[in-house]
Structure 1
Amino acid sequence: MYAALNEEGNLVYAVEVENIENYHCPKCLKTVRLIQKNDSAYFQHSTKKFNEVNERNIHKKGKDILVNNFSQLGYQDIQQEKFLTEIKQKPDILLTNNLALEYQCATISSSKFKDRIDGYSTLNIKSIWILGGAYLNKKILKKHLKFLSYDPNWGFYLIMLDSENKIYHLFYQIRYFGLFNKINYSRKDFYTDDISELFKFSTELKSYPPIKVDHYQIQRIKNVRGVKVDKLKSEFFNQSGKTVEEYLLKKSLNCQKPVYSNHYWRILCGEEPRYLEQPLLFKKIRI
């Protein structure tokens, strides 16, 4: 194929590509790779074998970078792929027997991710998860939220490692914005040559002014239909004497913690908050 969607969702032609990034098929939205030859250029669906080989190469480069970087930070007892008999797990990198580094390049389910965290916890091993490969992106997407950690200085955050370009991407102050849980965040990049700058980085947490619900968001809510939504709207009207839309219009909203799977407007209208499975966040977080 001669055109594909870039990370912003825009159609680009292979012959016009200047920057290497992630591309997707316009029809099935699966990942495609750019093929450039002397006299032609085109996109091609990635085969399973290609993906596995490419993923292994990216994973190995990332692990080598992490070993080198944490050696610079003063860690000496660094072990790769050590099999932990008690929990039958093999962390990518084990530091001083109580800190595991995982460079997660392959897609992993929330349940499997939780099982890995729980396994480390039984041995009092803290784990740090750094994303790459299939998770490497210039933006924070819904699929990234299960990896969130929390730090008083950075707020909700996660770290990605681009092992090809040797850059860490720190996404911090991650929050939900508005009635439909739009993801808002700040980002700062650090070269792997000086990892100490990443851990020295300090920032003042931003305070965002409340935003008012506008007619566009209200129209979006009107267009949401379904058995559960209709029931929620009906119960809200019976209890308050107002429609959901009347109640929410011009309401002022603050940013929310990025820990919910149901939209904020539904929570505001009485639906029980449903929490995302986020194993690295041990503290129960309430509104």
Structure 2
Amino acid sequence: MYAALLNNVLVLAVDEAQKQQNKNLSQKYFCPHCQREVQLIIKKERSYFKHLAQVTNMSGENKEHALSKELLYTALRKTHFDAQMETSLANGQLRADILASPKLAFEIQCAPLNKSEFRHRHSLYWNLGIKDIWIVGKRHYLEQNLKKSQLIFFRNNQAWRDYYLEINPQQEILRLKYNVLLEPVTNKLHYQIQVFNLNPVGLRNLWHFQPNLQKYQVNAQKQKEYLQLQLAQKSLKGMQIAEKLYKKRQTIEDLPSWVFQNFRAVNTCDNVTKYLNQT
């Protein structure tokens, strides 16, 4: 990472390294994408920012998972589902957190999960003809910016569009984040939120929820400035787009207005890359 946030202002690693060497300052920097704290690494050949190692509280995650599972199971049983916990499926290859019916399962994910493991479990459900709904714990909550690790948990339907389900067992609620869209160029998320109590009434309200979908607004100039910054910093995205622009013999000023104005679905590339790949 060659840039980070300092007091909510984007700064370059090379500039901060120079300041620290001259004044021996100690500052707190944060990632502009995930908001986690990062450390300035100063080396002779180059300076950069690096994410601080996270300490994983597996005991806390296990408690969160167990309590979430118990609350959802109880609510489903009271809603007249013949729900079962820890059901073995696919000749023991798969264990469903909660099998609500022969065609519906719920997975509550509080711990890390890589894409290959998710695909394996999801494909087993698919082969069995079971719809798997994934509900995430605190570790995976959606915030301002999208993380790649969150993409696997999205689902889509006509009423909610792209949506994401979160559980908070301490508050005994389910949180639906729906109508999720990404800004044209950045990874900043826009979504609506509806909270449901983790009880039979709350589940019924969730099943029948028919929202009015908002139309989001975006500052096209800010999107353009973000792209200019990516190019100037020579980030991975910036270098990839710069190469495509060079091959097309185009500049940022040649890009059509929709590139900076139209929101995009999750799990799609930014509009600039989309346009350059099409033309």
Same fold (TM over 0.5): yes
Q: Does 1:234 align with 2:246?
A: yes
Residue number in structure 2 paired with 1:247 = 254
CA spacing shift, 1:180–1:136, aligned 2, 3 Å: closer
Q: 1:180 to 1:133 in 2, by over 3 A?
A: closer
The alignment's C-alpha RMSD in Å is 2.9
Match of residue 265 from structure 2: 257
TM-score using structure 2 length: 0.71
Q: Does 1:182 align with 2:188?
A: yes
Of 89, 102, 111, the residue aligned with 1:106 is 111
Aligned to 1:279: none
Deviations for 1:232-253, whole angstroms, at most 9, x for unmatched residues?
Answer: 121111xxxxx23111275562
* Structure 1 residues 151 and 249: CA distance shift in structure 2, 3 A: closer
Structure 1 residue matching 2:272: 3-state secondary structure: helix
Query: 1:203-242 residue pairs with structure 2 within 5 A?
Result: 203-208=211-216, 212-213=220-221, 216-223=225-232, 225=234, 228-237=240-249
Determine if the alignment matches structure 1 residue 191 to structure 2 residue 191: no
Q: Tell whether the 8 Å contact from 1:105 to 1:134 is kept in structure 2 after alignment.
A: yes
Question: Does the 8 Å CA contact 1:174/1:186 hold for their aligned counterparts?
Answer: yes
Measured in 2, the distance between the counterparts of 1:140 and 1:71 equals: 36
2:266 counterpart letter in structure 1 = P
Q: Is the 8 A contact 1:79 1:95 kept in 2?
A: yes
Taking structure 1 as reference, are residues 209 and 53 closer, same or farther at Cα in structure 2, changes over 3 Å only?
closer
Map 1:1-20 onto structure 2 (within 5 A).
none
Matching residue's letter, 1:216: E
Per-residue deviation, 1:71? 1.5
Structure with more of its chain in helix, by fraction: 2
**Unpaired stretches in structure 1, ≥5 consecutive residues:** 1-7, 9-22, 32-45, 238-242, 273-287
Q: Check 1:100–1:246 CA distance in 2 against 1; reply closer, same or farther (3 A cut).
A: same
The Cα shift of 1:127 comes to: 0.7
**Aligned-partner Cα distance in 1 for 2:144–2:253:** 34
Please state how far the C-alpha of 1:170 moved relative to its aligned partner: 0.7
CA 1:256/1:24 → structure 2, altered by over 3 Å: closer, same or farther? closer
After superposition, give the CA deviation of every residue in 1:123-177 in whole Å (9 maximum; x if it has no partner): 1111111101422455563232221100111110010001122121110000111
Deviation, structure 1 residue 268: 1.4
Residues 217 and 248 from structure 1, CA distance in 2 versus in 1: closer, same or farther, beyond 3 angstroms? farther
Moved more, 225-234 or 116-125: 225-234
Distance (Å, rounded) in 1 between the aligned partners of 2:233 and 2:129: 45
When the two structures are aligned, how many residues end up with a matched partner? 228
Counterpart of 2:261, as a letter, is: L
CA distance in 1, matches of 2:69, 2:144: 23
Unaligned runs of 5+ in 2: 1-7, 9-34, 40-50
User: Using the alignment, how far apart are the partners of 1:25 and 1:208 within structure 2?
Assistant: 29
Counterpart position of 1:284: none
Task: Name 1:169's counterpart in structure 2.
Answer: 175
Q: Percent identity?
A: 22
Please tell me whether the aligned partners of residues 145 and 188 of structure 2 are also in contact (alpha carbons under 8 angstroms): no
Does the alignment pair 1:147 with 2:142?
Answer: no
TM-score of the two chains, using structure 1 as the length reference: 0.70
- Alignment partners' CA distance in 1, 2:233 and 2:122: 36
User: How far did 1:103 drift?
Assistant: 0.6
User: What corresponds to 1:200 in structure 2?
Assistant: 208
Q: Deviations over 1:179-203 (max 9, x none)?
A: 2242211112222133222222211
2:95 corresponds to 1:90 = yes
